Amino acid sequence: MYLLEVSNLRVAYPHQSSSETTWAIDDISLTLNPGSRLGLVGESGCGKSTIGRTIMSLLPLGSQVTGEIKFNGQSILGLNNGELRQLRGEIVALVFQDPMTRLDPLMTIGDHCLETLKAHKPQLSRKAARNQALEALEAVRIPSNRWGQYPHEFSGGMRQRVAIALALLLNPKMIIADEPTTSLDVTVSAEILEELTRLCSEREMALMLISHDLALVGEYCDRIGVMYQGKMVETGEVKSILYQPQHEYTKSLLAAALKIQQPSQIDTVSEIESKKTPETTKLNPILGVKDLQQYFTLESNFIQQLFSQQKTVIKAVDNISFELYPGETLGLVGESGCGKSTLSRTILQLLKPTSGNVKFLGEDLTQLSRHQMGAKRRHIQMIFQDPHACLNPLMTVGESIIDPLLIHQIANASEAKTQVLQMLEKVGLTPVSDYYHRYPSELSGGQQQRVAIARALITRPQLVICDEPVSMLDATVQTQVLDLMLELKAEFNLTYLFITHDLWVARFFCDRIAVMNQGKIVEIGTTEQIFNDTRHPYTQKLLAAAPLLK
């Protein structure tokens, strides 16, 4: 008898506009045994997360579900509220992608644990509940002295550990991990998944790992299920899927993932510069950062001020210097909290630096007034990690892209619309008349990122700062967006500062790479040097932690 058995499952969400039912999950069957690890992979919208939500009975009201789901031979479809409460947490636990959206900012980590235990085990005394919670936190290596802290006081990796501890609290028989490491860097991601798979092995828990990262699933799972348009197109042992894929979609996923893991073949300014020819010594950098510091002082309470004269200072950016040349792509890599995003915001003067200077085309941005800097941002644009969070949900795609043209008074309304339609064509959102009138909610993640790219490029900037622009996309869409960015770079003569925690994306896309750790650049060099002749122990640690399709 299987621990989990899903047979001929079909799921349709409510409020469908057409009379014909569209199945988000279409005739899916799968099984899981205690201690086994199944990875579900596929592009955004293929139905991976819907399977997890269906197993947990977390679908919206009015959803259609047919087929069968059994745990230890017992059907779980049609359970009452009491039985569902027992299922969620005691039998199956769910680890979400972004723990910050699932943790109450007004509750301490300890209170989160106690609330969960009280809901399922009201007979436990507070002392017994606390001891049980501390054991769960210790299992994911969170020390007891952090019991009274709030979610915002934890890093992304530590918050995800809290989410795993909450999932383990009731000792479930199975864990569903839905993209648990998408927003985490390679070292923290490796730690989290090693922790999760270790605990599953020790406790004989089954694991369903939902991810768009084929290399990651290949490293931590026993079996892989490949999903496409609501169907399970291929399933099998990890080695058979990775080395002998049968379905064309699986082959395309592997090709996309392997393409990203290949070094870029593009001749670059930095490679020419490294030859030290007389011509290259005449190149002027488009961006020059010199001794840049961004320090934050933590506010202390009255008692701390009374007994301590020293203030706690966080050196988010600590004496950083580098140059970026026209037409070059410089990658900035490092783990969460190392200062990458703070550096980009300081370059843009969204944060005023503690000291140092930032020169763009020879002009020191730190000396400009707010109004002068606003005008300068026409030439320096930014592409963010989550396009959905950066696009106004009440504005159409056309209105979102037109906005920068009107803000910078580059074109009138008629000219602006013509330019936007041309840009939509360039970023591959066709037919343009259709996409022009759509809202962000009507687009996939990859399409939203194309809108964000179009919005950034509409002012014809010279420098584009990209902050994790493809980390939330699956492998096929990643390669499409990266290829598009390379095409646009050539067409518009762009220079990129590319921030990422994915070393393979950096290798594919960047000419040079700067490695950041604790606010400092610890190593910088050509992509080839960083990958083949790395010198710094921290860079070696990053490379060792990055999952690789072998």
SS3 414: helix
pLDDT-derived band at 237 (thresholds 50, 70, 90) equals very high
pLDDT value of residue 274: 42
- Calculate helix-pair angle for 413-426, 397-407, nearest 10 degrees: 120
Q: Is the pLDDT of residue 85 over 60?
A: yes
Give me 512's structure tokens.
Answer: 């040079």
Strands (E), 89-230: 92-95, 174-178, 206-210, 223-228
Residue 238 makes CB contacts below 8 A (sequence gap 6+) with 39, 217, 218, 221, 222, 223, 224
pLDDT value of residue 265: 44
**Per CATH, which fold does 23-61+95-260 belong to?**
Rossmann fold (3.40.50)
Indicate the DSSP class of residue 14.
S
pLDDT value of residue 16: 59
pLDDT value of residue 501: 81
Q: How many CA atoms lie within 13 A of 282 on its CB side?
A: 3
Give me 154's structure tokens.
Answer: 């934890």
Question: For the segment 384-398, what is each residue's pLDDT rounded down to a tens digit?
Answer: 877 777 889 899 999
Q: What is the mean pLDDT of residues 173-202?
A: 82
What CA–CA distances, in Å, run from 72 to 32, 80, 190, 423? 10, 18, 31, 55
Cβ atoms of 270 and 526 within 8 Å: the answer is yes
Span of 7-16, 253-262, 341-350, 481-490 with lowest mean pLDDT: 253-262
pLDDT value of residue 468: 84
Question: For the segment 196-219, what is each residue's pLDDT rounded down to a tens digit?
Answer: 888 888 889 999 999 888 888 898
pLDDT value of residue 278: 37
Q: What is the DSSP string of 223-260?
A: EEEEEETTEEEEEEEHHHHHHS--SHHHHHHHHHHHHH
Of residues 527 and 544, more confidence is placed in 527
Tell me the torsion sign for CA atoms 53, 54, 60, 64. Answer: positive
- Whether the link from the prior residue into 105 is cis, omega within 30° of 0, is no
Cβ atoms of 505 and 382 within 8 Å: the answer is no
Q: Is the pLDDT of residue 238 over 50?
A: yes
Strands (E), 298-343: 313-324, 329-333
Question: For the segment 311-341, what is each residue's pLDDT rounded down to a tens digit?
Answer: 678 888 999 999 999 999 999 998 777 888 8
Nearest Cα neighbor of 463 from 351, 368, 361 is 361
Cβ atoms of 332 and 498 within 8 Å: the answer is yes
Amino acid at 245: P
Whole-number average pLDDT of the chain: 86
Cβ atoms of 245 and 254 within 8 Å: the answer is yes
- Whether the link from the prior residue into 431 is cis, omega within 30° of 0, is yes
Please count the residues of the chain. 550
pLDDT value of residue 29: 94
Q: What is the mean pLDDT of residues 343-366?
A: 93
Q: What is the mean pLDDT of residues 291-306?
A: 71
pLDDT value of residue 231: 93
What CA–CA distances, in Å, run from 71 to 74, 201, 208, 320? 5, 19, 14, 55
Q: What is the mean pLDDT of residues 273-302?
A: 68
**Per CATH, which fold does 263-379+464-550 belong to?**
Rossmann fold (3.40.50)
Question: For the segment 484-541, what is each residue's pLDDT rounded down to a tens digit?
Answer: 899 999 999 999 999 988 888 899 899 999 999 989 999 999 999 998 888 899 998 8
**Look-up: residue for tokens 């969460």?**
336
The domain segmentation of the chain, as residue ranges, is 23-61+95-260, 263-379+464-550, 388-460
User: How far apart (Å, rounded) are the C-alpha atoms in residues 48 and 232?
Assistant: 10
Count each helix (H run) and each strand (E run) in the chain, helices first. Answer: 22, 20
H or E stretch at 492: helix 475-492
Question: For the segment 399-426, what is each residue's pLDDT rounded down to a tens digit?
Answer: 999 999 999 988 888 899 999 999 999 8
Percent of the chain with pLDDT over 90: 44
Q: Is the pLDDT of residue 277 over 60?
A: no
Question: For the segment 138-176, what is each residue's pLDDT rounded down to a tens digit?
Answer: 888 788 888 988 888 877 667 888 888 898 898 899 999
Question: For the segment 262-275, what is each residue's pLDDT rounded down to a tens digit?
Answer: 655 444 444 434 43
Domains 23-61+95-260 and 263-379+464-550 share a fold: yes
Strands (E), 342-494: 355-360, 363-364, 380-383, 463-467
pLDDT value of residue 17: 57
Q: Is the pLDDT of residue 128 over 80?
A: yes
pLDDT-derived band at 188 (thresholds 50, 70, 90) equals confident
Cβ atoms of 167 and 107 within 8 Å: the answer is no
